[in-house]
Amino acid sequence: MTTPPRKASVRLQERRGSNLSLLLDVSRLGAEPVCSVSTPKEVWLQLLHTSSRPLTHTLLRRAAEDTNSLNVEYQKIPPNFVSAAELDVPGHTMKDRYKTILPNPESRVILRSPEDEAGPDRYINANFVRGYKGAQRAYIATQGPMVHTVGDFWDMVWQEGSSIIVMVTRLKENNERDEEEEEEDETSRFGRFVLRVRDSREKGGFTVTDMEIRLSSERRPVRHYWFTSWPDHHIPQCTTPLLRLVEEVETYSRSLLPPGSQPSTDPCPGRGPGPIVVHCSAGIGRTGCFIASSIGCQQLRETGQVDVLETVCQLRLDRGGMIQTTEQYQFLYSTLAQYSSQQQHDQRQTTKMIALINKLLDWFKALFWKEEMELTLVGLQYSGKTTFVNVIASGQFSEDMIPTVGFNMRKITKGNVIIKLWDIGGQPRFRSMWERYCRGVSAIVYMVDAADPEKIEASKNELHNLLDKPQLQGIPVLVLGNKRDLTGALDEKELIERINDLCPTVRVQTEPVRDVMKNVLRSSDLVESSPERRQLLINNIISHKTKIQSQPAAS
């Protein structure tokens, strides 16, 4: 009879299923040693801190067209919403527009009690948000003020020294009041503050309002941008208005800085323009789109690439839920893709513009036959006069030129020619000075912004007034249609028709540098002729009384 094999002895701990026996059994299977398990919150934060996808111009445009991949990418971004248990602020629910959208505790704005009032710090549903290159407190993202929180809103604006407010929502949505209007009358009182509206004007898709906020005897200017082009609960059909708003806000913000300084990352209020306050209804969807678009545009300008994924993750670390829907995420990509295309087109246009400027200088040199010449640049504000001067002087094109206020004169040497160039401000209060600075000059250059159709009427009126001045008769006038490469700009035919509608005796060309110069250089007897003959030929090309038909651009 065969004896069965003897069983191996089993220790008491192993028979009882101790932790040690489990470890031994698992280790035999090749499993990893036991380690601590991260909580879902820790996993989210790790993803938000490490997610990145830098894109070049070409890759950005491809990504913007792949909506399915963008949907997958968006769904993987942790929302990082804050629970009520994480926000240890008694009574905060009374001041929250939505119960589920709360400020991140680490970055929330805390309202300090006024110096003349005793009491604890106060609550507002708002967060400081980092900007480009992680600049601290570049923005404040907040919910739209309600009837009982509008005083807190202006307390925050005053406390943080903010000079710019961007409102990305309507006053009413779904026929219900969505926001407490921030400037109801010319003068209004909100809590401790008195607000006075100084000026309001419509732009393409948004309204700009200059206000003054006063506390006791101290007054501060505040500029309010109200973006009206975002439809209720949808995304805009066109990205152009948002890009214009981003550019307008950035330009004005830079103008508030001292000359030569950079945007401050100092968290102390009162230095520079302060954080840009951005709000919609909840302060996360449209607000996030505006801030992310602004940061993305800066990335493209400075580095030639953009990281939308990293930017949105950074925003959600500062305020949970930023960029609220897949559609908004796709719209953000589309916005930056359009800006990328526009930027690359501008770079190509810079080279062309420099070449045209050099030809223009050669034309002026041949035309006037003298070592020194004097030109005057006029046109409405933001038409590109200062950029024109900068290209002539340095050969460099820049989007960030601050418009001339008053006048500016530069002497520029090109070869053997010394050019005295007057750049006259285009603001309404300076237009009466145009005639004085145009008297006796070699030529007048009149700039027209073809990308701003709303200003064409005013531009042609001012041109008509200038041409009617008897003191300026006989002075050649060169009319330049600028910014025709931008989206929405008038084409050559439209611009000529709009300008000539009021001035039937003047034919304006949208590319006069090339077309007029071609006509001049084609007249072989111009250089060798007498001054009287040259003036006659000039008048046949461009003058107050001779029509010049538009010609196709030279190939």
Annotated ligand binding at 384? The verdict is yes
d(CA 480, CA 510): 6
- 238 given a catalytic annotation: no
Annotated ligand binding at 426? The verdict is yes
The tokens of 505 are what? 């005796």
What is the helix, strand, coil percentage profile of the chain, to 5? 40, 20, 40
Annotated ligand binding at 232? The verdict is yes
User: Three-class SS of residue 65?
Assistant: helix
Closest to 476 in 3D by CA, of 486, 487, 466, 465: 466
d(CA 245, CA 205): 8
Annotated ligand binding at 357? The verdict is no
Annotated ligand binding at 383? The verdict is yes
Annotated ligand binding at 270? The verdict is no
Residues contacting residue 93 through CB under 8 Å, at least 6 positions apart: 84, 99
Annotated ligand binding at 299? The verdict is no
Annotated ligand binding at 509? The verdict is no
Annotated ligand binding at 284? The verdict is yes
Annotated ligand binding at 50? The verdict is no
Residues contacting residue 169 through CB under 8 Å, at least 6 positions apart: 144, 178, 179, 227, 230, 279, 280, 281, 286
Annotated ligand binding at 386? The verdict is yes
Annotated ligand binding at 17? The verdict is no
User: Three-class SS of residue 229?
Assistant: coil
Catalytic residue among 238, 268, 280, 438: 280
Annotated ligand binding at 201? The verdict is no
d(CA 401, CA 86): 46
Annotated ligand binding at 288? The verdict is no
Backbone phi, psi, residue 122, to 5°:
-110, 165
d(CA 418, CA 56): 42
Residue numbers annotated as active site: 280
Binding site residue list for GTP: 379-386, 426, 482-485
Binding site residue list for Mg(2+): 386, 404
Binding site residue list: 232, 280-286, 324, 379-386, 404, 426, 482-485
Binding site residue list for substrate: 232, 280-286, 324
